[in-house]
Structure 1
Amino acid sequence: MPFTATVGDREVPCEPDQPMLDAFLRAGVWMPNSCNQGTCGTCKLRVVDGDVDHRDSPADTLTEDERAAGLALACQARLRSNVVVETGGGAGRATHPLRDLTATVREIEDIARDTRRLRLGLPEPLAFHAGQYVELTVPGTAVRRQYSLANTADEDKVLELHVRSVPGGAATEKWIFADLTVGEQVQVTGPLGDFVLPPADEDDGGPMALIGGGTGLAPLIGLARTALARDPNRKIVLYHGVRGEADLYDLDLMAELADSCPNFAFLPVLSHEPGNSTHRTGFPTDRFLEDIPSARGWSGWLCGPPPMVDAGVKAFKRRRMAPRVIHRENFTPAAT
């Protein structure tokens, strides 16, 4: 018999081996979540009544002192009894339910060096927010890998993913870049993640700075297109940091957005081709500091490798951006 987890006025049954976060999201009850692997700590909550099994919660994400104080990682914890939990930021409100779907590969396209675009057709629409991600299960294994959606929310029947090959990667080099074919069926779980715009009625319409590293561009495309659909005159600067020109992609799409939206700017930045390109060089966070004298009243959006995200947070704060409106999505290595 399942135990029950309660947050606010919402009660959710949890199966014996089901992570608490998974149960809440499948019930359409929102809780903070980002990596869903136990490495980021976003889903950390306090168990105020009852008992949980912490399972594989990493000690550097959830310390012994925190466990003793009643904290837990919702993405790892399993219930040992009925529990009551507390977490900040509006946990317990309604959200798009987490679902499992079988998708069909519609398109595989090489778009940049070691980078492919996948388009996956769904048998029915998947409700999500721009900026969220889905998990793919590698066939014949229990291995799951997470990929951000480049879609806007109304593009809900064909999901677009940007995938970079990782040497030895179970999902990339050994599957997506090896023998995945058009027409193949893949298992998709989603939506996941908190890297989303405020609801339209809560969005202040202020300027936005977006910085993506590599395929960290994918969710930023969905966010930028969603924000511009709300207000085509909104000021948005989108930096794409890559090693070289061979890593750039979707330049035509970015040019179309710039043509139709007068205050949108797309700015590629190359880190390993100084002097050999018409594009700017260095690091995108440094170019942001050069371009924007003050980001007071702006919101910031960062997606890519953790060092780039960390540098972006510092750059945004240097330009007086309020910490509460700095949003980040770290692309961390898959768990072993």
Structure 2
Amino acid sequence: MTHRISLRPGDHHFEAADDQTVLEAALAAGLLLPHSCRDGACGACKGKVLEGEVDLKPHSVGALTDAERSEGYTLFCCARPLGDLVVQARNVSRADDIPVRKLPARVQRLQRLADDVMLIDLKLPASEPFQFRAGQYIDILLADGQRRSFSIANAPHDASHLELHVRRIDGGRFTAHVFETMKEKEILRFEGPLGSFWLREDSARPIVMVAGGTGFAPIKGIIEHALHAGLQRPVTLYWGARTRAGLYMDELARGWEAALPGFRYVPVLSDEPWDGRQGLVHQAVLDDFADLAQHEVYACGAPAMIDVARRSFCAERGLAEDAFFADAFTFAQPTN
């Protein structure tokens, strides 16, 4: 049985099967809703059910509170329609201009950026052009059907390869392979591009970027795209890490201040004393900006950081809900 879903803003309509989530059905119809983790952890796909009912599968309480549920909000990645729906999303765009594809890629370079961060440089097949927007991610397809998601850390004008920043996870099967046994020339298969995290170039608003750990990867891709495109908007980047080693491309980020007009870089450490900014990265933004009403924010990192940044920036600094763009990094649970 299928259900008709009407999407606001705009006059979009699509069909969803009983076993499809609202997000899955929208993507299948070529409509791109804000999303990131796709498993109820980050809250990026949060929207409102205006008419109808959904079956909401288990999710993080931080991504959707009981109070929000009582107000009609849901997570589109976890919500299956129980009938026809009218729903409201923060942003809606068409996704059919860049196709999602499955392709092979060859590992052409491995570089240890920190003790627990590895750069993987993937060479794409010359006969299979791959398009993406700066900030999107891919899924590495494992032999047993599992997937591992990684943001693309380079800009699309240099599309002969993909740069990934992989953090080692205790008990992580794929990341253990990356750090212990992966070799150059190994072939990986991936699907992409995925996600709705990219620079909105039709806006003139000043930009605040917030990265936590390897959340720097998609931010790097966006900034390199901005450099290539000659972006004139003011950009402030806050990069948070526990220790100085976590700022694994600090020199590169500092170099952007000279290369991109109006760019400012603010590194923030939470666990190591130093002569720079200390504390939580979202708090550094709150300390520096009394008003974010005229800004756009692009945030990438752990779901808890994304959640507190969204809530505090919107509630305490006047940031518009539809001016907060996020990509939350979640990790697959270790398997035996």
TM-score range, shorter chain: 0.7 to 0.9
For residues 110 and 217 of structure 2, the distance between their equivalents in structure 1, rounded to whole angstroms, comes to 16
Distance 1:37 1:184, change over 3 A: same
Which letter maps to 2:220?
A: I
For residues 292 and 44 of structure 1, the distance between their equivalents in structure 2, rounded to whole angstroms, comes to 27
2:104 to 74, 93, 102: 102
Residue in 1 that maps onto 2:219: 220
Give the deviation of 1:282 after TM superposition. 2.0
2:322 to 308, 312, 324: 324
Which letter maps to 1:184?
A: E
1:136 to 136, 140, 148: 140
- Asked if 1:88 is matched to 2:89, the reply is yes
Asked if the contact 1:33–1:192 (Cα under 8 Å) also holds between the matched residues in 2, the reply is no
User: SS at the partner of 2:99?
Assistant: coil
Where relative contact order (Cα < 8 A, 6+ residues apart) is larger, the structure is: 2
For residues 194 and 136 of structure 1, the distance between their equivalents in structure 2, rounded to whole angstroms, comes to 18
Which letter maps to 2:259?
A: S
TM-score, normalisation: structure 1: 0.78
Deviations 1:60-112 (A, max 9, x none): 6899xx99xx999765678999x887553565734322211111111111012
Deviations 1:259-307 (A, max 9, x none): 1223111221111111xx3433222223223333433311112111223
Q: Which runs of 5+ in 1 are unaligned?
A: none
Deviations 1:2-28 (A, max 9, x none): 9797766676798x9887755654664
Indicate the RMSD between aligned Cα atoms, in angstroms.
3.8
- Listed as ranges, the matches of 1:36-75 within 5 Å are 36-40=38-42, 42=45, 58=59, 75=77
Residue in 1 that maps onto 2:286: 289
Count residues with an aligned counterpart.
Answer: 324
User: SS at the partner of 2:215?
Assistant: helix
Distance 1:323 1:77, change over 3 A: closer
For residues 163 and 287 of structure 2, the distance between their equivalents in structure 1, rounded to whole angstroms, comes to 33
TM-score, normalisation: structure 2: 0.78
User: SS at the partner of 2:94?
Assistant: coil
Which letter maps to 2:297?
A: G
Give the deviation of 1:331 after TM superposition. 1.7
Residue in 1 that maps onto 2:162: 159
User: SS at the partner of 2:192?
Assistant: strand
For residues 256 and 71 of structure 1, the distance between their equivalents in structure 2, rounded to whole angstroms, comes to 42
For residues 270 and 132 of structure 2, the distance between their equivalents in structure 1, rounded to whole angstroms, comes to 33
User: SS at the partner of 1:34?
Assistant: coil
Asked if the contact 2:90–2:322 (Cα under 8 Å) also holds between the matched residues in 1, the reply is no
Identity %: 33
For residues 16 and 321 of structure 2, the distance between their equivalents in structure 1, rounded to whole angstroms, comes to 35
Asked if the contact 1:114–1:164 (Cα under 8 Å) also holds between the matched residues in 2, the reply is yes
User: SS at the partner of 2:265?
Assistant: strand
User: SS at the partner of 1:154?
Assistant: helix
Residue in 2 that maps onto 1:115: 117
Residue in 2 that maps onto 1:252: 251
Give the deviation of 1:215 after TM superposition. 0.1
Give the deviation of 1:231 after TM superposition. 4.3
For residues 43 and 290 of structure 1, the distance between their equivalents in structure 2, rounded to whole angstroms, comes to 27
